[in-house]
Amino acid sequence: MSSIRTLALSAVVAMGTAASSLGQANPPVSNTVSNVNCGGGSGDLQRAIDNAPAGGTVVVRGACDKGPYYLRKNLRLTGFRGETVLSGGGDRVVDVIGANVRIERLTVDATQNSFGILIEEGSSGILDQVTVRNSQGAGVQAMLASYAGITSSSFINNLYGIFVAGSSNIWLDDNTLDGNQYAHIAAFANSSAFVYNSRLTNGNIGVLIERMSTGDCRETSSTGTRVPVCSCPAASRRHRLEATRSSRTDPTCAATCERC
Protein backbone atom coordinates (compact mmCIF):
# COMPACT_ATOMS: atom_id res chain seq x y z
CA MET A 1 0.00 0.00 0.00
CA SER A 2 1.17 3.49 -0.76
CA SER A 3 2.24 5.70 2.10
CA ILE A 4 -0.33 8.13 3.47
CA ARG A 5 0.85 11.68 4.00
CA THR A 6 -1.17 14.45 5.65
CA LEU A 7 -0.15 18.03 4.87
CA ALA A 8 -2.88 20.03 6.60
CA LEU A 9 -6.21 19.21 8.12
CA SER A 10 -8.43 21.68 6.30
CA ALA A 11 -9.92 18.79 4.38
CA VAL A 12 -11.37 15.81 6.20
CA VAL A 13 -10.70 12.25 5.09
CA ALA A 14 -12.09 9.38 7.14
CA MET A 15 -11.22 5.76 6.50
CA GLY A 16 -13.34 2.86 7.73
CA THR A 17 -15.09 -0.35 6.82
CA ALA A 18 -18.61 0.62 5.75
CA ALA A 19 -20.32 3.53 4.05
CA SER A 20 -23.81 4.54 5.13
CA SER A 21 -24.60 7.44 2.79
CA LEU A 22 -23.73 6.02 -0.62
CA GLY A 23 -27.35 5.68 -1.61
CA GLN A 24 -28.20 9.36 -1.44
CA ALA A 25 -28.36 11.71 -4.43
CA ASN A 26 -29.93 9.15 -6.73
CA PRO A 27 -31.31 10.97 -9.78
CA PRO A 28 -35.08 11.02 -10.31
CA VAL A 29 -36.30 8.02 -12.27
CA SER A 30 -38.06 8.14 -15.63
CA ASN A 31 -39.26 5.15 -17.63
CA THR A 32 -37.65 6.54 -20.79
CA VAL A 33 -34.62 4.58 -22.02
CA SER A 34 -32.50 5.68 -24.98
CA ASN A 35 -30.10 3.23 -26.64
CA VAL A 36 -26.88 4.28 -28.38
CA ASN A 37 -24.39 2.04 -30.20
CA CYS A 38 -21.15 3.86 -30.91
CA GLY A 39 -19.68 0.87 -32.74
CA GLY A 40 -18.10 2.13 -35.95
CA GLY A 41 -18.81 5.73 -34.92
CA SER A 42 -22.47 5.43 -35.96
CA GLY A 43 -23.96 6.41 -32.60
CA ASP A 44 -24.26 10.02 -31.41
CA LEU A 45 -23.99 9.83 -27.66
CA GLN A 46 -24.22 13.58 -27.02
CA ARG A 47 -27.41 13.83 -29.09
CA ALA A 48 -28.95 10.97 -27.12
CA ILE A 49 -28.00 12.68 -23.85
CA ASP A 50 -29.45 16.00 -25.00
CA ASN A 51 -32.68 14.40 -26.22
CA ALA A 52 -33.27 12.23 -23.15
CA PRO A 53 -35.82 13.59 -20.65
CA ALA A 54 -34.70 14.57 -17.19
CA GLY A 55 -34.49 11.45 -15.08
CA GLY A 56 -34.17 9.23 -18.15
CA THR A 57 -31.60 6.52 -18.87
CA VAL A 58 -29.13 6.44 -21.74
CA VAL A 59 -27.71 2.97 -22.44
CA VAL A 60 -24.53 3.04 -24.51
CA ARG A 61 -22.53 0.30 -26.23
CA GLY A 62 -19.25 0.30 -28.09
CA ALA A 63 -16.41 2.82 -28.20
CA CYS A 64 -17.58 6.45 -28.23
CA ASP A 65 -14.69 8.74 -29.16
CA LYS A 66 -16.43 12.09 -29.83
CA GLY A 67 -16.16 13.53 -26.30
CA PRO A 68 -16.31 15.66 -24.33
CA TYR A 69 -19.80 14.61 -23.30
CA TYR A 70 -21.81 17.11 -21.27
CA LEU A 71 -24.44 15.99 -18.75
CA ARG A 72 -26.59 19.02 -17.93
CA LYS A 73 -29.70 17.29 -16.57
CA ASN A 74 -30.58 14.57 -14.05
CA LEU A 75 -29.75 11.38 -15.91
CA ARG A 76 -28.49 7.82 -15.71
CA LEU A 77 -25.69 6.92 -18.14
CA THR A 78 -25.07 3.19 -18.21
CA GLY A 79 -22.82 1.04 -20.37
CA PHE A 80 -21.71 -2.56 -20.71
CA ARG A 81 -18.67 -3.25 -18.57
CA GLY A 82 -15.74 -4.40 -20.68
CA GLU A 83 -17.35 -3.05 -23.85
CA THR A 84 -18.33 0.61 -23.44
CA VAL A 85 -15.39 3.04 -23.67
CA LEU A 86 -15.77 6.84 -23.74
CA SER A 87 -12.96 9.09 -25.00
CA GLY A 88 -12.40 12.29 -26.97
CA GLY A 89 -10.56 15.58 -27.20
CA GLY A 90 -10.72 18.65 -24.99
CA ASP A 91 -9.66 18.81 -21.36
CA ARG A 92 -12.26 16.34 -20.06
CA VAL A 93 -14.19 13.31 -21.36
CA VAL A 94 -17.36 13.64 -19.26
CA ASP A 95 -18.53 16.90 -17.66
CA VAL A 96 -21.40 16.99 -15.14
CA ILE A 97 -22.81 20.53 -14.97
CA GLY A 98 -25.55 21.48 -12.50
CA ALA A 99 -27.05 18.01 -12.56
CA ASN A 100 -27.61 14.91 -10.46
CA VAL A 101 -26.38 11.89 -12.41
CA ARG A 102 -25.54 8.23 -12.12
CA ILE A 103 -22.76 6.82 -14.34
CA GLU A 104 -22.19 3.08 -14.31
CA ARG A 105 -20.59 0.08 -16.01
CA LEU A 106 -18.31 1.87 -18.45
CA THR A 107 -14.68 2.88 -19.03
CA VAL A 108 -13.38 6.41 -19.57
CA ASP A 109 -10.09 6.54 -21.47
CA ALA A 110 -8.63 9.99 -20.76
CA THR A 111 -5.31 9.58 -22.57
CA GLN A 112 -5.81 12.92 -24.34
CA ASN A 113 -7.39 14.76 -21.40
CA SER A 114 -6.71 16.58 -18.15
CA PHE A 115 -9.80 15.02 -16.54
CA GLY A 116 -11.70 11.80 -17.08
CA ILE A 117 -14.91 12.84 -15.30
CA LEU A 118 -15.43 16.38 -13.99
CA ILE A 119 -18.25 16.97 -11.48
CA GLU A 120 -18.74 20.73 -11.37
CA GLU A 121 -20.15 23.26 -8.92
CA GLY A 122 -23.50 22.34 -7.42
CA SER A 123 -23.59 18.96 -9.17
CA SER A 124 -23.86 15.55 -7.59
CA GLY A 125 -23.43 12.04 -8.86
CA ILE A 126 -22.88 8.36 -8.27
CA LEU A 127 -20.20 6.42 -10.14
CA ASP A 128 -20.56 2.65 -9.95
CA GLN A 129 -18.39 0.06 -11.73
CA VAL A 130 -16.59 2.79 -13.66
CA THR A 131 -12.95 2.64 -14.79
CA VAL A 132 -11.06 5.86 -15.52
CA ARG A 133 -7.54 5.54 -16.91
CA ASN A 134 -4.58 7.47 -18.30
CA SER A 135 -5.69 11.01 -17.41
CA GLN A 136 -2.98 13.68 -17.49
CA GLY A 137 -4.69 15.24 -14.46
CA ALA A 138 -7.45 13.66 -12.36
CA GLY A 139 -9.35 10.49 -13.15
CA VAL A 140 -12.37 12.06 -11.51
CA GLN A 141 -12.46 15.59 -10.12
CA ALA A 142 -15.22 16.90 -7.88
CA MET A 143 -15.00 20.70 -8.01
CA LEU A 144 -17.39 22.45 -5.58
CA ALA A 145 -19.69 19.44 -5.88
CA SER A 146 -22.48 18.92 -3.37
CA TYR A 147 -22.22 15.11 -3.28
CA ALA A 148 -20.46 12.23 -4.99
CA GLY A 149 -20.61 8.51 -4.25
CA ILE A 150 -17.97 6.40 -6.00
CA THR A 151 -18.28 2.63 -5.62
CA SER A 152 -16.71 -0.52 -7.08
CA SER A 153 -14.69 1.60 -9.51
CA SER A 154 -11.07 1.69 -10.69
CA PHE A 155 -8.72 4.63 -11.31
CA ILE A 156 -5.59 3.55 -13.12
CA ASN A 157 -2.49 5.41 -14.36
CA ASN A 158 -3.82 8.94 -13.87
CA LEU A 159 -1.84 11.81 -12.35
CA TYR A 160 -4.41 11.86 -9.51
CA GLY A 161 -6.93 9.06 -9.11
CA ILE A 162 -9.63 11.08 -7.33
CA PHE A 163 -9.24 14.85 -6.79
CA VAL A 164 -11.68 16.70 -4.53
CA ALA A 165 -11.68 20.49 -4.16
CA GLY A 166 -14.17 22.57 -2.17
CA SER A 167 -16.64 19.67 -2.16
CA SER A 168 -18.67 18.03 0.59
CA ASN A 169 -20.01 14.53 1.13
CA ILE A 170 -17.64 12.56 -1.07
CA TRP A 171 -18.09 8.86 -0.29
CA LEU A 172 -15.65 6.29 -1.69
CA ASP A 173 -16.30 2.58 -1.17
CA ASP A 174 -14.77 -0.60 -2.61
CA ASN A 175 -12.56 1.17 -5.16
CA THR A 176 -9.22 0.23 -6.70
CA LEU A 177 -6.59 2.92 -7.30
CA ASP A 178 -3.42 1.75 -9.00
CA GLY A 179 -0.46 3.44 -10.66
CA ASN A 180 -1.71 7.00 -10.17
CA GLN A 181 1.49 8.99 -10.49
CA TYR A 182 1.17 11.68 -7.83
CA ALA A 183 -1.63 10.78 -5.45
CA HIS A 184 -4.41 8.23 -5.42
CA ILE A 185 -6.81 10.48 -3.48
CA ALA A 186 -6.35 14.23 -2.94
CA ALA A 187 -8.64 16.50 -0.92
CA PHE A 188 -8.23 20.30 -0.99
CA ALA A 189 -10.00 23.47 0.12
CA ASN A 190 -12.20 22.41 3.02
CA SER A 191 -13.45 19.25 1.32
CA SER A 192 -14.76 16.17 3.09
CA ALA A 193 -14.14 12.67 1.79
CA PHE A 194 -14.86 9.32 3.41
CA VAL A 195 -12.88 6.31 2.20
CA TYR A 196 -13.92 2.71 2.83
CA ASN A 197 -12.65 -0.70 1.70
CA SER A 198 -10.40 0.76 -0.99
CA ARG A 199 -7.14 -0.63 -2.42
CA LEU A 200 -4.34 1.89 -3.08
CA THR A 201 -1.27 0.43 -4.80
CA ASN A 202 1.75 1.51 -6.86
CA GLY A 203 1.54 5.24 -6.28
CA ASN A 204 3.61 8.04 -4.81
CA ILE A 205 1.05 9.20 -2.19
CA GLY A 206 -1.94 7.29 -0.90
CA VAL A 207 -4.12 10.10 0.51
CA LEU A 208 -3.09 13.75 0.21
CA ILE A 209 -4.81 16.43 2.29
CA GLU A 210 -3.91 20.07 1.78
CA ARG A 211 -5.42 23.49 2.34
CA MET A 212 -5.63 25.91 -0.57
CA SER A 213 -7.43 29.15 0.15
CA THR A 214 -7.58 32.32 -1.94
CA GLY A 215 -4.22 34.11 -1.81
CA ASP A 216 -2.29 30.97 -0.83
CA CYS A 217 0.58 30.93 -3.35
CA ARG A 218 2.62 27.86 -4.17
CA GLU A 219 5.13 26.87 -6.78
CA THR A 220 5.78 23.72 -8.74
CA SER A 221 8.77 22.67 -10.78
CA SER A 222 7.23 19.53 -12.24
CA THR A 223 7.80 20.79 -15.78
CA GLY A 224 11.22 22.26 -15.09
CA THR A 225 9.81 25.78 -14.83
CA ARG A 226 8.76 27.34 -11.55
CA VAL A 227 5.11 28.21 -12.05
CA PRO A 228 2.90 30.14 -9.61
CA VAL A 229 -0.09 28.07 -8.58
CA CYS A 230 -2.79 29.27 -6.21
CA SER A 231 -6.41 28.84 -5.31
CA CYS A 232 -8.73 31.02 -7.34
CA PRO A 233 -12.26 32.34 -6.95
CA ALA A 234 -14.92 29.72 -7.64
CA ALA A 235 -15.24 30.53 -11.35
CA SER A 236 -11.55 29.91 -11.90
CA ARG A 237 -10.76 26.99 -9.61
CA ARG A 238 -11.26 24.42 -12.34
CA HIS A 239 -8.16 25.72 -14.10
CA ARG A 240 -5.78 25.22 -11.20
CA LEU A 241 -4.81 21.61 -11.88
CA GLU A 242 -4.36 22.24 -15.60
CA ALA A 243 -2.13 25.23 -14.81
CA THR A 244 0.05 23.05 -12.61
CA ARG A 245 0.45 20.45 -15.33
CA SER A 246 1.02 22.67 -18.36
CA SER A 247 2.80 25.76 -17.01
CA ARG A 248 -0.24 27.89 -17.87
CA THR A 249 -1.77 29.99 -15.14
CA ASP A 250 -5.33 31.23 -15.13
CA PRO A 251 -5.17 35.08 -15.22
CA THR A 252 -7.36 35.46 -12.15
CA CYS A 253 -5.24 32.96 -10.28
CA ALA A 254 -2.00 34.67 -11.33
CA ALA A 255 -3.30 38.04 -10.14
CA THR A 256 -4.16 36.56 -6.79
CA CYS A 257 -0.66 35.09 -6.45
CA GLU A 258 0.97 38.40 -7.31
CA ARG A 259 -0.72 39.96 -4.26
CA CYS A 260 0.71 37.38 -1.85
Determine the 3-state secondary structure of 142 from DSSP: strand
Domain with 85 in it: 5-211
**49 lies in the same domain as 176:** yes
Closest CA to 115 of 65, 158, 69: 158
**21 lies in the same domain as 125:** yes
Give the chain's domain count.
Answer: 2
What was the pLDDT predicted at 128?
Answer: 97
**166 lies in the same domain as 234:** no
**93 lies in the same domain as 107:** yes
For 65-102, the pLDDT digits (tens) are 999 999 999 999 999 888 999 999 889 999 999 999 99
DSSP state of 238: G
pTM of the predicted model as reported, rounded to 2 decimal places:
0.75
For 138-195, the pLDDT digits (tens) are 999 998 898 999 999 999 999 999 999 888 888 999 999 999 999 999 888 767 788 8
**122 lies in the same domain as 204:** yes
**149 lies in the same domain as 228:** no
**199 lies in the same domain as 222:** no
Determine the 3-state secondary structure of 241 from DSSP: helix
Residue type at 1 in one-letter notation: M
What CATH number should be reported for the domain holding residue 198? 2.160.20.10
What was the pLDDT predicted at 41?
Answer: 54
Average pLDDT, the chain: 76
Which of 54-63, 187-196, 219-228, 251-260 has the largest mean confidence? 54-63
CB 137 within 8 A of CB 112: no
Q: How confident is the model at residue 26 (pLDDT cuts 50, 70, 90)?
A: low
